[in-house]
Structures are given as structure tokens and as C-alpha cells.
Amino acid sequence: MHTGLVIIISPSITRALVRVLNLLDGVGANFSSGSIVTRSPSNRIMQSLRMEFVSFKMFIIALSLMGSVVNSKETSEFKLPTNFKPVSYRLDVTTHLDDKFMFEGVVDIKMTCIAATDTITLHSNSLDIDTKSVVVANSGENVVPVSSVTFDPKKELMYVKSTENFKPGDEYVLTIPFTGNITDDLVGYYKSSYVDKENNQTRWLAVTQFEPADARRAFPCFDEPAYKATFKIRLGHKKEYTSISNMKMMKQTPIPSQPDYVFDEFEESVPMSTYLVAYMVSDFAYIESDNRDDEVKFRIIARKDAADQTELAKNAGPLVLKYYEDYFDEKFPLSKQDMVAIPDFSAGAMENWGLVTYRETALLIDPDVATIDNVHRVAEVIAHELAHQWFGNLVTMKWWTDLWLNEGFATYVAARGVDFLYPEWNSFQIETVQNFLRVLDLDSLQSSHPVSVAVGHPDEIAQIFDTISYTKGSFLLHMMNTFLGEDTFKQGIRNYINKHKFSNAEQDDLWNSLTEEAHRQETLDKNLTVKLIMDTWTLQTGYPVLKVVRDYSADTVTLSQERFLTIKSNGTDNKSCWWIPLTMTTSMDADFNQTKTKSWLNCENNNLTIPLAKDNEWVIYNMQMAGLFRVLYDTRNWMGIVSTLNDPNEYDTIHTLNRVQLIDDSFSFSQIGDLDYGITFQLLNYLKHEKEYAPWLAALGGLGPINSLLKRTPNQGLFQNYMQRILSPVYSRFRDMTVELNNFEEIRFKNLVIAEACRHRIKDCTEQALDLFSKWMKTTDPDKNNILPRELKPVIYCQAIKYGGVDEWDFLWERYQRSNVGSEKAKLLSALGCSSETWLLNRYLNWSLDNSIIRKQDAISVFYSVARSDIGFYVAKDFLYRKIADISEYFQPRGDRVGSYVKAIGSQMKTKEELDEIQSFINRSSSYLKGADLTTKQTIETVKINTEWTTKFDHKIINHLV
């Protein structure tokens, strides 16, 4: 889908492991750079034992770092017992739209008994089931007596109890008839609608969204990823509609009891998890791709009025699918691939096998209005979802703990897919930069979580569809690709897929495949394993800072590491340790292309001193940001780097990606007090001759938090003046809004600079925006004649609404209502929150909780758009405090959505009084914030960070702004 490790171990096992550790430690081993030095080098048995010990000890170290240990019951109580394994489902569902919005059906589940029991336990949630009609039969079709059918709504479980024991090895068929409501909750089997432009009629459709744990809302099932089975689906609906599912339709037959209805019967599926089952009933249009590969029929499905927006998806989909077949060396196993644009959709997209569902903005492109970012977004999401067809669908994680195997990999490979589609964009490098910056920020919080994280209740599962699972997971794969090499990495992935296809796997299975291939190709020392290295990155929360201290008299450099935290720990994280891949260059060499790891800083060698020639002005580590860590140099080394950067003829001898890291690291170290802000601002002076997009992205990203912390304070004007000065040279390069560019990076660069120039009130920027908007308002038929530069419309819209009044707001609202293009509607919604009129903002926020005015999927975007402005912050905060009960009810059953509202407000708070205020609000609103505890914890920590920064640096930083 495109949105601390808690180790499950009992105290008794912990004590046993410690005893074993102490016993092994007594054997006598010294560790250095990942190799073993024994007291009896000739003793190969001892050598082997100690190598095993390294891996074991790393495991124990990882356990000690997790921060919290929970009893396995806390996770397992929400998991199914393993008495039964489903083999196949026969699912009949009849959908009633237009009038009663409900569905009725029956499911036959063929299953094998694994262990003797008298009870079948499976999932069911919000379904009406006639318990007297539940039937169990054995393979001979003899009915097994059912003594009771009961439910546990809290655990979303259904129990079918027999008067006799089910026998291990025997097959049984469980038949359950059910009915349910087609809700507007955007989960389970839900309804969506649109207005048919031809006759102005509201048209309805019903579609599924089952990930992570909502198939149980549509039919009773074994709703966990490890329970793969085949599905034979029949969909009943009125004749005026069509239906689709994961597989090709075989035939349509009338339903004798309902003359207006037909049954569509689909081919039996390949083995798959319940969260990937999908079906839809609609009156949509079907647009078939012209791909020459007759093996896979490719269709784009959308509202008839949006059929002309499918060209990009129609072309890109088959190309990316073929690219992945080659990359994974595994054919796509289905005969068709549908991609559907849904008007109401909670996430960005969902990778259901053979039937990928998308938000309209993530699939449809109108070439007349689309920006380059819209095109990139659609290409990226298509590539992400199609990557899942292998990583997630063909090979599925055993449990949600390893969600990152799905999402991290799809994110990583999607960047490669986009790079394949548009090689001229250089998008892979930009994606690397964005991922690096995004991860390091969130993952510096104590309240972050490991990539591989134990989860139990469905609420916990939904919360880990986040930056850590997607973006950190993706960057760690990029890091592995770099230190293993492309050939090893790719072949290791192919071996993993081939070994586990149509089955389930976990993190260690991936590590094993990569290790075997790395040892075969000799790209990783035989004494090392991928597990030994990567467990330190996926089982621990956070990431390291590599400390680089030079002894200029001894011509040496000493390397050490510790966890990077924005609020420094009280000592609890001193034991954190990672295997850090070391790459470096000096001012003498300035060779930033040596990204292959030559050595490691590891957990047994965490204070490494090596020689370094004295005539090097600076040393820089982490070539091209190949590893996920920050680098802190001594002051003299920083000043050498600053000197080179500020030389207009020398700055670009430092690689673009390393300039990005130097900028971001300097901000972060200054924020926590490890580097004087004076050095950071001296470094930023070099921007006057920086010509590339990525370093500017990092610089403006680093200045953004300072802007937020100085907002609504007496010093906001000083910061604004500083920003005007720093932006002035680069703004002069891009200032003319009407000049359109063609290069992907140049377009993004211009968009970034113009947005910042207008935000910080460079007069010329605002004047241009208001003048262009005024001219547009006066055109005849402004919907067809949008004269604004397409790439800069978001900036111009926002400026016009901010400095305008009711007329401008109403004009843009009318454009929103009339627009038929999802991406354009999203821009308009965002801009409408820029108003400075408090009553308009209040009305807008109220509208956002009315699905008949603004789609539920867009409510959070509306709130964010209001909350980000100076005036809107107060309006949005007041709205959240007053309406928390309504907001919570509106988003049920997805409590994690409510957390986004709290985050939008809390992230901008920065005083002790505001910290007390938001903490008090969270405490008294706890019943409305169920399922959002991870977000609220991160929000509170962020406010504490902001408060600490304000106390320490608010007054000091002013000296650097004048």
C-alpha cells in the first residue's frame, strides 16, 4: 500500500540466554573489524563456535537495546490459534446499491485440521450472521454437529464449536451465510460515489479495501497474512453494473430469484492472503492497454468522465510490469492486471493482486493541467503497487512485524521503476535525498520504532504504515545494494523470491538469501552475514552518528558511534550500536565515487583509530550518502569543509549528495548543541553559488523548522529578512513566473524557490502571483482558460487566497466544484486553507467533516492546509479542541487518522505552556485517540524538542540572522 522493536521473549528465556552468553563469553574471544582472533588459532571447531557466538552475541545486544520487552501473550492474543489451515474459499457476494447499501453472501472455507480441537476460530467483524445456518462438513460431506457459534467483538473473532473433536489431517468445509452494510468508512466493503456529468446524477459503486485487517468486515475468514488460500469468487449485482475481482471473469449467469440481477463468476485465484482479495461493483469505463504482451491483459478502469485521463497509466503500467519481470527474473503469474481509480479512497493505492485500486490523484493524469510532480506521483505509485505483485503478493510476510519487507521494498524498487520510465529525470538520486532527509528527522525521536516491529491489535498494525516502514525500509535496501553490489543484491532478491513464491517469509529469510549469494560472489567476507550487519539496523530504533575526531599532531582519525537523538538520552541508549559501512575521502583525493564498503565500524570495535595524512584540509565520510547515519566532525575539520564550500571554484569538488548531508547534519548537530550555529550559518553562505536542486532542498528543509519555531514570535521578521537575503540570488534566476522549463530537476528547483520567495514575502513574488490570479479571474470560462503557469499554480492559488477576500475564495471554491481532475482538486483544496479570514477558515473546517461537501479522504488535507499558516494555526487548534469527538466519530474505525490532527497542531508548538496544553488535551481526549498512541507520543516528544530548542537557542540564533 502507498501511506521500539518489542521482542517477544519471556523472562525465563532471557535469564537462560544470559547464562549461555556468560558461558560462551568465557571461551575467550577478541573481536576486531568483524574478524575473530582466538587463543588457539589452529582449533577450527573453536573458530567456528566463536563465529556463531558473534552472531549470537549480536542478537543478545539487539535484545538489550529494544527498550521494552513484552510477554508474547500481548501479541498472540489477537492472533488465530494454529489448529486449522485454510486451503480454499468459495465466496458468493451479492451487492445492493442505490437503495439499501448492503451486501449478502455465503462463504465456504475448505480447511485442514492441524491439531485436535473442538473449536474453529476465525475472524468476523461488523457482519450479521445467522448462527443457526452455520454448517461444518467433513471431506465426505458428512455434517459435523455444531454446538454453538459465538463472537468476541473486541478481538474480532468468531468461534464455531462442535460437540466432537476435529481430527488432525482431515479436511473440513465451513459454510457461513452473512450480511453486512456497505458503509462510507473507506475500509472493508464500502461505497463511493461520483456525479455523472452527462445527466448530473449521483452514481454509486462498492469497492473493497482490506489491508491490513478488514477482509473480516466483508466475509468471515482467516484474516492473517500467513493463511494463504485460493479464492473462487462470484459477484451478484444489478444488470446495469459490472463487476471485477482479482482474476478474469469466466461467465455471467442470471439469478433466478432476482430477475434484475446477474452473477459474475471469476477464475480461481492463485494462493493469496485475505488482505489482497478485492472486488468492485460499478458502472465504470474499461480502457485496455495496447501492450503487445498477450499473456497479461492490462486495463485501466475509471469513471466514464475521466476515461481521457488514463493515457499515462495505460502506457506506464505494462512497461513497469515487464521491467519487474526482468528485474526479479519471475513472470507475473496472473493473466490480467486491472488498475482502478476510486473517487473515495483512504490510502494512495492498494496492491490487490490483479486488481490494484488507486486514489484518482495517484492514477489519472490530465495532460492539459498536470504538473511534472503530478506525472511523477502517478508513475511512482504505479511502480510501487506493481512492485508489490512480487514483494508482498507473490512472497508475503508471515506477520505484520515484517511489513517493511512489503512497503520498504516496493518503495525502493518503485524509484528504480520510475528511473526506468524516465531516465532523463535523475529521479533516483532525488528520491535518495528525500528518503534520507525524511527518515533522519522522524527516526531521531525516542518514540520512533524499529523497522521490524512487533504488533498485535489491528490498531497497532495500521499505525506502522509510516515513514519508518516505507522510507527507512527503502533506504536500508539502498544501503545494502551499495555495500553488497548491484549484482549480488539483485541475484539474492531473485533467489529469495524463487524460494518463497506463493508462500510466506520473514526478515531472516531475506538475510539468508542475500548472504548465500554474497558469499558465492565473494562480495561479503565469509566471516560476516547480512543478518549480523542488518539486524542492527532493523531490530533497533533509530540510527547512529559517526563521530570523527582528528588528532592533527599524530596524523590520525578516531571513529566512534552512538545513537543520534534530538533530545539527548539520560544514558539508556549508550549501548546502541550498529554495523556502520565506512567509506571516506579527503581534500587531497576528493574521490566521492568509492561507495563500496572497505571496512566496518561495529559493535566490538567501537573506537577505531586509523592514520590520516596531515596535509588533508578535511576528511568526509559516507560517500554519496550510501549509509543511513549522520557524521559529526571536529571543529577544525568542519571549518576546512566550510572553506572549500565557500570557494565558488571548489565547492562542487564535494559531491552533490555529500553537500546535502553536510547541510542537513550541520543543522541537526546545531539543533542539539553539538555544533555551534555559527558554523552552520557560515556553511550556508556558500548557497549563493550553489546551482543544484538537492542541496537547496536540504538547506530550505533545514531552515524550515527554525522558521516554524520563530513563527508568531517577535523575531519572525528578522528571520524573514534573512530568508529574503539568502533567496535573492537564486530567486533572480527563476523570478519570472511565466517562463516554463522542461528539465525535471529545474522545474522542481524553480517551484521550490518561488514557493519560498512568496512565503517569505519577497515583494516581487507576491505581486506577480496576485497579478496573474486577477487576470485569470477576469477571463471568460476560467475553467477552460486557466492562464496560470501550470507548475506554479499551487503557489499562486495560495498567495491569492492569503491576500484576497471572499471573492477570491468563492472563485477558487467554484473551480474546485467544477473540476473533473483529481490532482487539480487537491491543489485547490490545499490553497483554500491559505485564507487569512478566520470565519472562512472555520466554515471550511466544518465543511471538511461533511462528506457531502468534501470527500472524507480529503478531510485531513483540509485541516493541514489551514493549520500551517500563522492565523490558521489558532483556528485549527480551536477546531480540534472543540470537535475532537466529532472528528473521532467521523473517522471510525480508523483511530490512527485522528492522530494526524494532533500532529499537525503539536508539531508547531514550542513553549512550556503549549506543551502542558497539548498534553492536557491528549489526556482528556484519550477515549477519542484510541489507535493513535504512536502519533501522540511522537507529537509530545516533538513539542518537548521544540520547547528545549526555544529555551536554548531562540535568543542566540538572532545573531546569525542579522
> Strand, helix or coil at 829?
helix
Q: What cell does 594 get?
A: 568509492
- If you average pLDDT over every residue of the chain, what do you get? 89
- Dihedral of the alpha carbons of 232, 238, 243, 249, in degrees to the nearest 10: 50
Q: What is the pLDDT of residue 464?
A: 76
Q: What is the pLDDT of residue 867?
A: 96
* 38 or 3, greater pLDDT: 3
> Strand, helix or coil at 623?
helix
Q: What is the pLDDT of residue 959?
A: 86
* 65 or 200, greater pLDDT: 200
> Strand, helix or coil at 629?
coil
Q: What is the pLDDT of residue 10?
A: 34
Q: Assess whether pLDDT exceeds 80 at residue 50.
A: no
Q: What percent of the chain has pLDDT over 70?
A: 91
Q: What is the pLDDT of residue 467?
A: 85
The DSSP element (H or E) to which 352 belongs, if any, is: none
Q: How confident is the model at residue 26 (pLDDT cuts 50, 70, 90)?
A: very low
Per-residue pLDDT tens digits for 204-263: 999 999 999 999 999 999 999 999 999 999 999 999 999 999 999 999 999 998 989 999
**Which of the 8 DSSP states describes residue 267?**
P
Of 50-54, 195-199, 460-464, where does mean pLDDT reach its minimum? 50-54
833: left (phi over 0), alpha (psi -120 to 50) or beta: alpha
Other residues' Cβ atoms within 10 Å of the Cβ of residue 288: 11
**Cα–Cα distance, 315 to 378 (Å, whole number):** 12
Q: What cell does 230 get?
A: 485460493
- Cis previous bond, 695, omega within 30: no
241, 206 Cβ separation under 8 angstroms: no
Q: What is the pLDDT of residue 42?
A: 39
Angstrom distances, CA of residue 565 to CA of 68, 440, 446, 680, 937: 18, 10, 7, 19, 15
397, 410 Cβ separation under 8 angstroms: no
Q: What is the pLDDT of residue 795?
A: 97
**Cα–Cα distance, 913 to 676 (Å, whole number):** 28
Q: What is the pLDDT of residue 294?
A: 67
Angstrom distances, CA of residue 962 to CA of 467, 677, 723, 731, 931: 36, 14, 11, 20, 45
Angstrom distances, CA of residue 277 to CA of 241, 404, 765, 868: 20, 20, 50, 38
**Cα–Cα distance, 598 to 619 (Å, whole number):** 16
Torsions phi, psi of 623, nearest 5?
Answer: -60, 125
C-alpha angle with apex 443: 440 to 446, nearest 5 degrees? 140
Nearest to 517 by CA among 476, 489, 481: 489
Q: What cell does 366 get?
A: 490530465
Per-residue pLDDT tens digits for 466-517: 888 889 999 999 999 999 999 999 999 999 999 999 999 999 999 999 999 9
Of 306-315, 371-380, 590-599, 834-843, where does mean pLDDT reach its minimum? 590-599
Amino acid in the structure at residue 289: S
Q: How confident is the model at residue 956 (pLDDT cuts 50, 70, 90)?
A: confident
C-alpha angle with apex 301: 270 to 351, nearest 5 degrees? 40
Active site residue 917: no
513, burial (CB in 10 Å: exposed 0-12, middle 13-18, buried 19+)? buried
* Buried/exposed code over 765-776 (b: 16+ C-beta within 10 A; e: otherwise): bbebbbebbeeb
40, burial (CB in 10 Å: exposed 0-12, middle 13-18, buried 19+)? exposed
Torsion over CA: 616, 620, 621, 622 (sign):
negative
Angstrom distances, CA of residue 928 to CA of 786, 886, 887: 43, 9, 8
Amino acid in the structure at residue 453: V
Q: What cell does 729 get?
A: 540570488
Beta strands per DSSP E along 477-633:
503-505, 544-551, 556-563, 580-582, 584-586, 599-601, 607-611, 619-621, 630-633
Amino acid in the structure at residue 202: T
What is the average pLDDT across 397-425? 93
Nearest to 94 by CA among 82, 85, 83, 106: 106
**Cα–Cα distance, 45 to 53 (Å, whole number):** 12
Kindly report the three-state secondary structure assignment for every residue of 2-21: CCCCCEECCHHHHHHHHHHH
Other residues' Cβ atoms within 10 Å of the Cβ of residue 42: 7
What is the average pLDDT across 950-960? 85
611, burial (CB in 10 Å: exposed 0-12, middle 13-18, buried 19+)? exposed
Query: Computed over its alpha carbons, how large is the radius of gyration of the chain?
Result: 29
C-alpha angle with apex 422: 419 to 425, nearest 5 degrees? 85
> Out of 156, 385, 914, 948, which one is annotated catalytic?
385
> Strand, helix or coil at 102?
strand
764, burial (CB in 10 Å: exposed 0-12, middle 13-18, buried 19+)? middle
Q: What is the pLDDT of residue 35?
A: 32
Nearest to 452 by CA among 531, 528, 353: 531
**Cα–Cα distance, 213 to 122 (Å, whole number):** 12
Per-residue pLDDT tens digits for 685-738: 999 999 999 999 999 999 999 998 888 888 899 999 999 999 999 999 999 999
204, 103 Cβ separation under 8 angstroms: no
Nearest to 876 by CA among 905, 839, 834, 840: 905
**Cα–Cα distance, 936 to 445 (Å, whole number):** 12
Per-residue pLDDT tens digits for 787-812: 999 999 999 999 999 999 999 999 99
Per-residue pLDDT tens digits for 317-355: 999 999 999 999 999 999 999 999 999 998 899 999 999
**Cα–Cα distance, 3 to 347 (Å, whole number):** 6
Other residues' Cβ atoms within 10 Å of the Cβ of residue 529: 22
The DSSP element (H or E) to which 516 belongs, if any, is: helix 507-521
Q: What is the pLDDT of residue 571?
A: 58
Kindly report the three-state secondary structure assignment for every residue of 403-451: HHHHHHHHHHHHHHHHHHHCHHHCHHHHHHHHHHHHHHHHCCCCCCCCC
